[in-house]
Structure formats: C-alpha cells, structure tokens
Homo-oligomer: A and B are copies of this chain.
Amino acid sequence: MTDPDLDVAVLGAGLAGLRAAELLVDAGLSVRVFEARDRVGGRTLSEDWHGARVDLGGQWLGPAQTRVAALAARLKIDTFATHVAGDRLVDLDGALTRERSAGRWPTLSQIAEKLGKRYVDALAARVPVDDPRGAPDAARLDATALAQWRDRMLPHDGLRQLFDVSVKTVFGAEAHSLSVLYFLWYLQTGGGYGAHVDVTGGAQERRFVAGAQALSLGLAAKLGARVVTGSPVQALDHDATGVWVTSATGRVRARAAVCAMPPGLVAKLAVTPGLPTSRARTLARMPMGATVKVIARYERTFWRERGLSGEAVSGAGPVSYCVDNSSADGQHAMLLGFVVGRDAVDWSALDAATQRARVLAQFGRWFGDEATRPMAFRAHDWADDAWAGGCPVSNPAPGVLTAEGPRLAEPVGRIFWAGTETATVWTGYLEGALESAERASGEVLTCLGARDAPR
C-alpha cells in the first residue's frame, strides 16, 4: 500500500471541480485540483473588453437556479437583470416581425404557446430526471429524432423555425441530432421549456456584474495553492484503495479522484484499468454542442431608443439569437449574438472578415445602419478550445439515453464524476455543475468514511 499524497485529486477546475474541491476541503480532506488550462472556470470565461466585463462563455442565471444564486451571494458577486424592455424582432423567411417581448420566447400565436410550451412541458413532466428510461414509451422517444417529432407536432412552418432556433441555442445542436427523449429529459431537469428558453422567469433572466467566471475565480481564490493550472492530467490509474494521477507536474497518489471534465475529454483520458465498455461507448456518443458567441460594442444603446429590446430571433444564419448585452448601467452598449449548431460548424470555414460582415449585416437589418458600425467586434468559437471542444453541453446521440441511462455519474472504483453533464438538475448549466459537485463530493466523503470528519 502506498501512502497517499492527498485525499482527493480533482480533475478540472471548472465550476463543478472547484465546488467539489471546496466541499471536500470544508469536510477536512486534503485536495488538489488539476487544471489543463492556464485559467480556471471551464466553459465560463469573462474578460475586460473596451472598458466592460464581457462573458465569452456561460453568463446567465435563472430564478430556479438556487445554487448559483447562493454561491454568487456568498462570493459577493452582484447580479443584474438581462435587458429585455422593448420590442423583440422575429426574422423568419425574410419577413421581420416586431412583437412585445416580456422576456418570453417568441410565440406566433396563442395556439403556438399552447402547443409549443404547455404540451411539451406536459410531456417533459413524464420523464424522471434521475432515470429517463422510466418515461412512458422511452425507447421509441429515444429512437425518434427531435426533427421528426417537430415536423409532426408543429403545424406551422414559422413555429418549426422558432422551435429549431430555440433548440439550437439551448443545445448548440440541430434537432436532427437529438432524440425526443433527451430533449424532454433536458427540459425537465430545468423545469420545462420556458425555464430554458425564456429570459424573464427563465435561465437567461440575470447576469453577473463581474462575469460568470467570477464564481470559479472566487472558489479558486479560496482553494489557493490547491489549484494547479497548466497541468493537464495525462493518465489516471486506479485500484481498490485509490488513484495515481499523472500530470506534467508529476505523479501523485490520492485516495479518490473527482473527474470534473466534459465527457469528450473524459473519453480521451488514459484511464487504467479502462472505463467499462458501456461508459466508453456512451462517452463516444456525446458530442459537445457547437456555439460561437459574437459581441459587438457600440457607443450607445441606439436600439433601445427605437423601442427595441435588442432581442432578435432568426430562422436564417449566422446569428440565430441576439440579445442586449450591455453593462448593468447601460453605459457599455453591446449586442450579443449566438451562432449555433450547423451555422457554427460552417462558421469555422469563413475568414474573420466574412464572419464579421455577415453578423453585422444581420444586426443592421434588425437594428439599423448604426448596428453595422460597431466600435469593436469579437467572436469566440468554443470549438477552438481543445479543453472544451464546444459549448454549451455534450448531447447524447439518439438511442444513447435508453441504452445507458444517465450513468455518467456512476463511480468507477475510486473515480467519482462531476460536471454539468452528470447532473440531474439543470444539466448543461452552471446550476447543474454545482449540483453535480454536491453529489460527487458526497459520494467521495461516504467512500472515504469522512462524512463526519472534523475540519
């Protein structure tokens, strides 16, 4: 038996890994967090840009996301409401419609509302978040592409386009690559369709003044030297009493590991003995969504002056969804666009000038000529970040959910699993990352018999 160097090695200093580390440290355990990048925060990344704090990754907080709210309060990170006052634009088939927003996802009519949200929510409510295989007709729903179901369910082409845009924006993936069961399950982990797609009352309701990465930065500050950045884990060897973690900084023995990396990176990790075949198969069938964020900075929020909220939803590319991204005080005027799904894939093939021109042409069409002349413009393609492979979430292919269930969280020996994809509450969001950290750290404490360990 080798004396361990520490109690728990945490792989990944995203929100899940850092929160798990905090909980384990609070329970009196010795912990080291290995982070491949030279920064913490995973799929959140906040930067100062032309005098304003901008989020290049996850950036929002919804009212039902209580863990995030509590953490922000504890770390004294202020939040503010996403700007939605004014009219929203809906751009479908070349026609631009102006409509009252109230922060809800666009609806073409009350019928659409009923069909599109309430019906979907009723279906989603039948999917148990901790085991979607228990849903009525689960196998068939998992073998049915969401695109097929959408064609059958939505009687109007405009509705279908709006639905597709919402799917692309939420998952970073097209409706033809997701199963109906996964879609419903995902909705249900957040409490329904509106909870995911709405600003007001939904997951985009509030923002962080200091940027979403501040959550991770705050946790990392508390953990101090326990967090080692620039240290990708090359190999994880495990046995009955612990793990060996091999990284650029050497080989370390721990009594347990919490792996808080995206599924695509877990798939690449050299784990010995190897992961169970079923797990490996699932990991190979969970591609990360494709999301590019584009931000244009302006002198002033000229769209607000015209009674527009800055929100726009488009059936055409490249930007599917646009929203006002100005600072809390409105002084730093910005529009944020999402290039998602297939549009994000096509994006990589364009040169930077073409990317910019296409986005600004859309912004101009929506908000007037002034929108084509930003002070500054930037784009962040998460697929270019090899330590993420995309954003916002890894989506299982059709059939995977019923074949394997949500077993990504199931421990493999002394390896425990965190990360938003392992969550059953708000999977894919910051909230899910925190929930997964609570669950995984609890499993570690039970395993190590440290549930009631003194600090």
Contacts and interface: CB of A to CB of B under 8 A. Distances in A.
B280 A389 contact: yes
Contact of A174 (B280, B342, B346, B399): B399
Given A267-B268, A386-B274, A143 B281 contact: no
A249 interface: no
Given A278-B345, A383-B277, A177 B399 contact: yes
B284 A290 contact: no
B284 A389 contact: yes
Contacts of A145: 144-145, 147-148, 176, 398
A104 interface: no
A225 B397 CA distance: 42
Nearest to A179: B176
Contacts of A381: 277
Contact of A280 (B267, B383, B397): B383
A264 B404 CA distance: 19
Given A174-B143, A345-B404, A397-B397, A277 B148 contact: no
A348 interface: yes
A390 interface: yes
Interface string A391-422: 00000011100011000000000000000000
Interface string A135-156: 0000000011101100000000
Interface in A255-291: 264, 267-268, 274, 276-278, 280-281, 284-285, 287-288, 290
Total identical chains: 2
Contacts of A403: 342, 345-346
A69 to B, nearest CB: 33
A7 B144 CA distance: 49
A147 B144 contact: yes
A77 to B, nearest CB: 32
Nearest to A279: B348
A95 interface: no
Contacts of A26: none
B280 A284 contact: no
What are the nearest 9 A-B pairs in CB distance?
Answer: A143-B176, A145-B145, A345-B403, A148-B148, A268-B268, A277-B383, A284-B287, A285-B287, A176-B398
Given A264-B284, A277-B381, 5 more contacts: A176-B399, A278-B345, A280-B383, A281-B290, A345-B403
20 contacts: A143-B147, A143-B176, A144-B176, A145-B145, A147-B148, A148-B148, A176-B398, A176-B399, A177-B397, A264-B284, A274-B386, A276-B348, A277-B381, A277-B384, A281-B383, A281-B389, A342-B399, A342-B403, A345-B403, A397-B397
